[in-house]
Structure 1
């Protein structure tokens, strides 16, 4: 399944590891270290520099990536849940 995460960005849910509020994520020193390491390795995408609401961690080909999205973590989570619910109901035809 693919989900829209802001502006022109869409991700594959099978690669998604974490969706978290940006301020909460960055409030942890450990998370800041992870983020800075990913940034140094050019594995961070910031969709909108002016609006940072959530952080998504993805595993793609065995490597960790981070995306900073202007869409809230709650909204993103609902998008994934609603789509999965739709697919489950659509495929559960008895």
Structure 2
């Protein structure tokens, strides 16, 4: 499954670890350390510097990556679910 997460970015759910609300995520000291490590390793993408609504953590080839998105975590989750329902319904039409 795939989901559009803002601007020209799409994620593959097979690589998805977690989608979190940005405001809740950034409150934790441990999360800020994770974010700093991702920045140091150049494994973080900020889609829009002005609008930060969610952070998506992915695992690609055994490495953790983060994407800070202007789209809310709830909207991204709905997009993933809706895509899955669409595919299931499409495949059932045979």
Question: TM-score band (shorter)?
Answer: over 0.9
5 Å-filtered alignment, 1:69-80, equals 69-80=69-80
The TM-score with structure 1 as length reference comes to: 0.93
Aligned residue pairs, count: 94
Map Cα deviations across residues 3-22 of structure 1 (whole Å, 9 max, x no partner).
Answer: 21101111111111111100
The CA RMSD measured in Å over matched residues stands at 1.2
Unaligned 5+ runs, structure 1: none
1:47 correspondence with 2:62? no
Partner residue, 2:85:
85
Map Cα deviations across residues 13-56 of structure 1 (whole Å, 9 max, x no partner).
Answer: 11111111001011111111111101110000000000000000
Higher deviation after alignment, 12-21 or 47-56: 12-21
Partner residue, 1:30:
30
Unaligned 5+ runs, structure 2: none
Q: Is the 8 Å Cα contact of residues 2 and 83 (structure 2) preserved in structure 1?
A: no
| Runs of 4 or more consecutive aligned structure 1 residues displaced over 4 Å after TM superposition | none
Q: What SS is found at the alignment partner of 2:90?
A: helix
Partner residue, 2:2:
2
Q: Distance between the aligned counterparts of 1:7 and 1:48, measured in 2?
A: 9
Map Cα deviations across residues 55-83 of structure 1 (whole Å, 9 max, x no partner).
Answer: 00000000000000000111101000111
